[in-house]
Structure 1
Amino acid sequence: MKALILFGHGARDSRWCEPFDRLAELWRAQHSSTPVEVAFLEMMQPSLEEAVTALAVKGATQITIVPVFFGQGGHLRNDFPLLLQDCREKFPTVSLSATLAVGEDLAVLQAIVDFGFSKLGEV
């Protein structure tokens, strides 16, 4: 079974994760046959390992991790690969792959441009 993890940085303010929760709910509403979990690098739960565990328990054998970061900064270049490798070692029967940061995708960038343009008259 395929599954998805939406992976974010995390923050001290618990409200920071609300957009991640909404994103996961949108995913569930549109792709109910493919489980999704959120996970965070630091300061929030669940961790990447906890999210992989939750999906593996549900029977996931292929998990794609989507870093919901604007760009490939130090956390994605340095910290994330170590976490991913650790999960690969702990879950050898689960295929784990990762995409680029969402902010590096042209469609995402265009959505931000479109959003900004649509708000010009509201200021």
Structure 2
Amino acid sequence: MSKHALVLFAHGARAASWAAPFERLRELTQARMPDVRVSLAFLELMTPSLPELAAELVADGVAHITVVPVFLGQGGHVLRDLPLMVEQLRIDHPQTSIAVVEAAGENAAVLNALSDYCVASLSAHAAPD
């Protein structure tokens, strides 16, 4: 097993169906990196939580965890809650390297992909002139 893991960190919701696109993202990402464990973790309302998943990964021998906040913007959860959670994880698992990258919605490539989708949606549904 790889010593690296990628964690897609999302908010969570009461409706289980809300997680479907995140699971598809996890599956697509896992397919591109078969030697890296790709998992989902949630801030609230769904499991596993980031601390639960991190403990499981560490127990499985993972030495490096990269967390990708799958949020469109950097609100309080990304700016305040996540750093506090990661700080505690680093205390709880000092032997493990834990990195956090920018929120997905702050990344230029992600924004360009969303813009492409928006432009294509208008082209697909625009009334003829």
Task: Work out whether the TM-score is over 0.5.
Answer: yes
> How big is the alpha-carbon RMSD for the aligned residues of Structure 1 and Structure 2?
1.0
- 1:15 is matched with 17
The count of residues paired between Structure 1 and Structure 2 equals 123
Higher mean alpha-carbon deviation, 51-60 vs 6-15, is at: 51-60
- 2:29 is matched with 27
Query: What percentage of aligned pairs have identical amino acids?
Result: 44
Which whole-Å CA distance do the structure 1 matches of 2:6 and 2:121 have between them?
31
- 1:78 is matched with 80
Unaligned runs of 5+ in 2: none
- 1:87 is matched with 89
- 2:116 is matched with 114
**Structure 1 runs of 4+ off > 4 angstroms?**
none
Which whole-Å CA distance do the structure 2 matches of 1:35 and 1:8 have between them?
17
Q: TM-score when scaled to structure 1?
A: 0.95
Q: TM-score when scaled to structure 2?
A: 0.90
Which whole-Å CA distance do the structure 2 matches of 1:28 and 1:70 have between them?
21
Task: Provide, for residues 71-93 of structure 1, a one-character-per-residue CA deviation record: whole Å limited to 9, x for no partner.
Answer: 11011111111111111111111
